[in-house]
Amino acid sequence: MRRRWMSAVAITMAGLLSLTACGGEAGDQAKPSGEAAKKQVEVFSWWTGPGEADGLKAMREIFEKQNPGLTFFDAAVAGGSGDKAKALLQSKLQADTPPDTFQGHAGAELQGYIKAGDVEPVNFLYDELKLKGVIPDQLIEQITVDGQIYSVPVNIHRSNVMWFNPAVLKEAGVAGPPKSIPEFIAALEKVKAKGKIPLSIGSEWTVTHLMESVLLGSLGTDAYNALFKPGADWSGPAVTKALNELKTILSYAGDPVDDWQPAAKQVADGEAAFNIMGDWAYGYFHNPPDGGLGKVSKQDFDWAPAPGTEGTFLWLSDSFTLPKGAANRDGAVAWLKVAASKEGQDAFNPKKGSIPARKDADTALYTDYLADALKDWGSNKLAGSIQHGVTVNQPWLASITEAVGLFLGTKDVAGLQAALADAAKANAQ
């Protein structure tokens, strides 16, 4: 199933990095050998879409200006949430040919790399750059194992965002964004009656993304967070209720599209009413047409916390690592310094649609949706994302993804719940 597909991707893509890399100049497509290769810094990510690629480009420009002796090699691999990139990365790590630095989600996702000895601690950078004074404690805790810090976070994203088209809601007689799951289902029914797509969805991972917001909205923050502790009860009636609500919500979904961007575009274009997606969608909605849709907030699109989740920030953080055995360790360290810097984060995040990991960023740069996110990050309760690596490690997520994929075909809530309970028993520590 999903695991076999992931393995196949890893095998078939292992030799294709030069073909899947994107975002660079023509000379980026193949790495030269010898001393010239050491001057390149291979930065591996899954930032290829509008908004995210713009943010990476902005940080790249700072890097190349500060390091004229180094060449940025963009090894980004397309695919929302990084599933394809992670499969290819695993094959490179197993072959002892790591990129100089790679993107990973802060939290449980990094545990596999740490346990396998694939990444070096970066405590020395935190000391040199005095990062512990400017990065929130709760974020540092998520990237620390046995006192060692293993990555540099560049941002904070919010997963539990409901994007909606105000005109479509008005046409359907929906007074405003629904605040609870029952209100959400009622609004979906009203939109359906008007012949529009009530809820847009993308590829399989976007449904897992939707599921985490439904679990949070139905269970509440404390019960949601308890699901990821040893001995957690995924078999109880509260989870059954949440998964039945997910089934009902998905009954209003339109045909799945290729990824999150075309699903978000359906909302922006007035074809669909709602989309539950992380706040990277803001950069896509808002950025000018050469890198986004150029839409007007509060008019073409609007946002609210996913139903039932107001007051809780379902968070994730992109970070970069220092792989062991990298061809250009010094170049990787130079990249990590830019990623950690105030200048780098303030260049990257407004375009990406995220807020900085640092507490001393220029707040004047974060307006509109991003101003809301900054305020909520500092005041809301916190819960960690499932799909984006905070609460579950990669084997656990693979099991969840497989279960969700089967559920999309069977609509069997009992089967989904049993699979989620088995995955938790096998992986919770």
Residue 55 has pLDDT above 90, yes or no: yes
Q: 393 and 344 share a domain?
A: no
Residue 106 has pLDDT above 70, yes or no: yes
Q: 86 and 216 share a domain?
A: no
Is 421 contained in some domain? yes
Is 374 contained in some domain? no
Question: Own/partner pairs for 295-302, CB < 8 Å, 24+ apart?
Answer: 295/268, 297/368, 297/369, 298/166, 299/166, 300/165, 300/268, 301/163, 301/164, 301/165, 301/166, 301/267, 301/268, 302/163, 302/164, 302/165, 302/166, 302/177
Q: 88 and 164 share a domain?
A: no
Is 378 contained in some domain? no
Backbone phi, then psi, for 166, in 5-degree steps? -60, -40
Q: Do residues 391 and 384 touch, judged by C-beta distance below 8 A?
A: yes
Percent pLDDT > 90 in the chain is 82
Structure token pair of residue 114: 């740490």
Read off the DSSP letter of residue 296: P
Percent pLDDT > 70 in the chain is 90
Q: What is the pLDDT of residue 49?
A: 85
Average pLDDT (401-428) is: 97
Is 45 contained in some domain? yes
Looking at the DSSP bridge assignments, the partners of residue 139 are: none
Q: What is the pLDDT of residue 385?
A: 97
Is 381 contained in some domain? no
Q: What is the pLDDT of residue 265?
A: 97
Residue 150 has pLDDT above 60, yes or no: yes
Residue 97 has pLDDT above 70, yes or no: yes
Q: What is the pLDDT of residue 31?
A: 45
Is 376 contained in some domain? no
Q: What is the domain count for the chain?
A: 2
Q: What is the pLDDT of residue 357?
A: 95
416: confidence class by pLDDT, cuts 50, 70, 90: very high
Q: What is the pLDDT of residue 19?
A: 35
Q: 214 and 284 share a domain?
A: yes
Q: What is the pLDDT of residue 65?
A: 97
Read off the DSSP letter of residue 109: G
Q: 259 and 348 share a domain?
A: no
Q: 343 and 264 share a domain?
A: no
Is 372 contained in some domain? no
Residue 37 has pLDDT above 50, yes or no: no
Neighbour-count burial for 225-256, b at 16+ CB within 10 Å, e otherwise: bebbeeebebeeebbeebbebbebbbebbbeb
User: What confidence tens digit (pLDDT) does each residue in 269-303 have?
Assistant: 999 999 999 999 998 999 899 878 999 999 999 99
Q: What is the pLDDT of residue 138?
A: 83
Q: 142 and 267 share a domain?
A: no
* CATH code where residue 60 lies: 3.40.190.10
Q: 18 and 122 share a domain?
A: yes
- Taking Cα atoms as reference points, which of 106, 132, 159, 136 lies closest to residue 318? 106
26: confidence class by pLDDT, cuts 50, 70, 90: very low
Q: What is the pLDDT of residue 367?
A: 95
Q: Work out the end-to-end distance of the chain between its first and last CA atoms, rounded to an integer number of angstroms.
A: 25
Range in 6-15, 105-114, 146-155, 201-210 with the lowest mean pLDDT? 6-15
pLDDT, greater one: 157 or 84: 157
How many CB atoms neighbour CB 426 within 10 A?
10
C-alpha–C-alpha distance, residues 143 and 385, integer Å: 15
Residue 27 has pLDDT above 50, yes or no: no
Q: 166 and 81 share a domain?
A: no
Residue 428 has pLDDT above 70, yes or no: yes
Average pLDDT (20-36) is: 41
Q: 101 and 248 share a domain?
A: no
Q: 354 and 305 share a domain?
A: no
Q: 190 and 69 share a domain?
A: no
Q: Which residues contact 52 (CB under 8 A, 6 or more apart)?
A: 280, 283, 352, 353
Q: What is the pLDDT of residue 84?
A: 87
Range in 79-88, 294-303, 344-353, 416-425 with the lowest mean pLDDT? 79-88
Q: Which residues contact 163 (CB under 8 A, 6 or more apart)?
A: 264, 267, 274, 275, 276, 277, 281, 285, 301, 302, 303
Q: What is the pLDDT of residue 115?
A: 92
Residue 3 has pLDDT above 90, yes or no: no
Is 273 contained in some domain? yes
Structural domain including 120 reads: 2-155+320-367
